[in-house]
């Protein structure tokens, strides 16, 4: 008896596994573009703040206007600050070409007084020859009649015309037989001496040799900390040594925080943006700032926040000792993440408009310098450490504007995408531009 034939089987279609399309290295271009955008945002803010303070040093509460300049330069369209020691303004035409140069004697020559006080004089020079084209009295503490008599004396007002910068700087009014205007001799001689003093002071400041950088013991100590932090960041074998990292964190809290005191903060970033990096007086701190910005931008490693910040190390120790973990509601958590950005906006506003707020009081870092710390910064430091007992690294996540700036520059490789923080950063640039443009009108309104 023959066995029945096997049942017919339905053929199973073969599934072809498709390889996911390759990016072809496109993520590298995207990541580089985003990093360049973020770097440009930070640089733009720093440049605007620096130019703003350069103009403030020139104006000193009495802004030179185009209406004052146009009698000497009819084609003047814009005034551009000169950040050199001359502290004047380049006069630009509509095509942004320099056509002249102007400066005022105040506040540099305010120590030169006439009958009742100093006189602020405007001087116009050609460019690039830097020869005086003329002068104009802007304001004076002296008697109005005397000032008017000096302004009407064309011989006196034209004494400087045609002289170069160096000639004016080296001029001795007495040796040059510059005599005072009859009936207003004190006022006119004060103007002459004030002009010469203004040019001489700028020349001496430009020719002065700055002192060389001076490395003190605390600078060498901070440099050693930076070197160790770089080792913990880039040497996997060392990073895996838990005991070594914990011992290093004790050094960060005790030495960097309480003893050395050179910590990155918004007050430092604000001051250096306005007046320049103090790399001669604080070379190790300047090196720390450079490393904190460059390393995350180039290597995706959060050097400062993860390996150097003493407040971050203190939070990590507290979180390790308590082991509590409080889960915040999603709405509250999302809202708190915007707090650092709001603090950055506050810092920019205070910096640009010189509001009477101590920027050290918006962060906890000055609390480690306990002898000089304010109540506000101590409260923020204590609150952040208490919060870290319930929410790991609470201050770093929800309260640190300095950490947000450094994190913003950090590369994330393939995970880099244009997100909300990049939009917020663009808004920050617009905010700084608005503060820059609005400073003059608001200042005039307050003064009046």
Does 155 map to a domain?
A: yes
Does 10 map to a domain?
A: no
Does 431 map to a domain?
A: yes
Per-residue pLDDT at 177: 67
Residue 423, classed as helix, strand or coil, is helix
Domain final position from 182, 206, 230: 206
Does 91 map to a domain?
A: yes
Per-residue pLDDT at 18: 54
**Are 89 and 37 within 8 A, CB to CB?**
no
Residues 135 and 259 both lie in one domain:
no
Does 45 map to a domain?
A: no
Residues 95 and 117 both lie in one domain:
yes
Q: What is the DSSP letter of 181?
A: B
Residues 198 and 279 both lie in one domain:
no
How big is the CA angle at 278 (ends 274 and 282), to the nearest 5 degrees?
145
Residues 408 and 277 both lie in one domain:
yes
Per-residue pLDDT at 237: 86
Per-residue pLDDT at 1: 46
Parent domain of 84: 61-206
Residues 184 and 263 both lie in one domain:
no
Ranges in the chain, pLDDT < 50: 1
**Are 405 and 38 within 8 A, CB to CB?**
no
* CA-wise closest residue to 110 among 140, 132, 146, 149: 140
Residues 256 and 366 both lie in one domain:
yes
How many domains, in total, are found in the chain? 2
The tokens describing 30, both together, are: 């995207």
Residues 231 and 185 both lie in one domain:
no
Phi, psi of 262 (to 5 degrees): -90, 95
Sign of CA dihedral 87, 90, 96, 97: negative
Domain final position from 186, 206, 226: 206
Per-residue pLDDT at 414: 81
Strand partners, 101: 90, 125
Residues 306 and 188 both lie in one domain:
no
Residues 300 and 178 both lie in one domain:
no
Per-residue pLDDT at 124: 96
**Are 428 and 345 within 8 A, CB to CB?**
yes
What is the chain's alpha carbon radius of gyration, rounded to the nearest angstrom?
31
Does 17 map to a domain?
A: no
Residues 336 and 404 both lie in one domain:
yes
Residues 311 and 182 both lie in one domain:
no
Does 27 map to a domain?
A: no
Q: What is the DSSP string of 234-248?
A: H-HHHHT-HHHHHHH
Domain final position from 168, 185, 206: 206
Does 191 map to a domain?
A: yes
Residues 124 and 255 both lie in one domain:
no
Per-residue pLDDT at 273: 95
């Amino acid at each position: 008896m023959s066995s029945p034939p096997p049942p017919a089987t339905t053929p199973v279609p073969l599934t072809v596994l498709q390889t996911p399309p390759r990016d072809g290295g496109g993520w590298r271009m995207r990541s580089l573009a985003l990093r360049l955008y973020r770097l440009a945002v930070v640089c733009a803010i720093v440049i605007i703040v620096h130019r703003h303070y350069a103009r403030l040093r020139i104006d000193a509460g009495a802004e030179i206007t185009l209406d004052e300049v146009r009698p000497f330069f009819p084609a003047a369209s814009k005034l551009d600050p000169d950040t050199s020691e001359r502290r004047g303004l380049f006069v630009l035409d509509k095509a942004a070409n320099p056509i002249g140069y102007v400066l005022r004697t105040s506040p540099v020559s305010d120590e030169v007084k006439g009958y009742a006080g100093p006189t602020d004089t405007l001087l116009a020079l050609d460019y690039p020859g830097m020869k005086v084209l003329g002068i104009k009295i802007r304001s004076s503490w002296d008697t109005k009649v005397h000032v008017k008599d000096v302004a009407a004396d064309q011989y006196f007002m034209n004494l400087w015309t045609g002289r170069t910068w160096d000639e004016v700087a080296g001029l001795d009014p007495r040796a040059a037989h510059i005599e005072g205007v009859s009936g207003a001799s004190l006022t006119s001689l004060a103007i002459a001496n004030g002009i010469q003093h203004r040019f001489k002071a700028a020349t001496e400041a430009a020719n002065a040799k700055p002192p060389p950088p001076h490395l003190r013991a605390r600078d060498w100590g901070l440099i050693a900390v930076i070197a160790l932090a770089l080792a913990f960041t880039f040497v996997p074998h060392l990073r895996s040594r838990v005991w070594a990292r914990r011992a290093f964190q004790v050094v960060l809290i005790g030495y960097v925080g309480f003893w050395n005191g050179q910590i990155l903060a918004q007050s430092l970033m604000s001051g250096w943006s306005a007046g320049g990096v103090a790399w001669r007086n604080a070379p190790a701190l300047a090196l720390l700032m450079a490393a904190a910005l460059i390393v995350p931008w180039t290597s995706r490693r959060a050097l400062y926040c993860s390996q150097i910040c003493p407040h971050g190390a203190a939070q990590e120790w507290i979180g390790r000792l308590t082991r509590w973990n409080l889960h915040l509601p999603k709405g509250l958590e999302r809202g708190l993440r915007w707090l650092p950005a709001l603090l950055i906006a506050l810092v920019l506003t205070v910096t640009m408009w010189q509001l009477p707020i101590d920027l050290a009081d918006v962060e906890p870092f000055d609390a480690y310098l306990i002898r000089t710390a304010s109540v506000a910064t101590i409260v923020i430091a204590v609150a952040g450490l208490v919060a870290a007992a319930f929410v790991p690294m609470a201050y770093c996540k929800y309260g640190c504007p300095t950490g947000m700036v450094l994190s913003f520059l950090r590369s994330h490789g393939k995970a880099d995408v244009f997100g909300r923080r990049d939009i917020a950063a663009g808004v920050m640039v617009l905010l700084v531009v608005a503060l820059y443009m609005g400073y003059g009108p608001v200042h005039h309104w307050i003064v009046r």
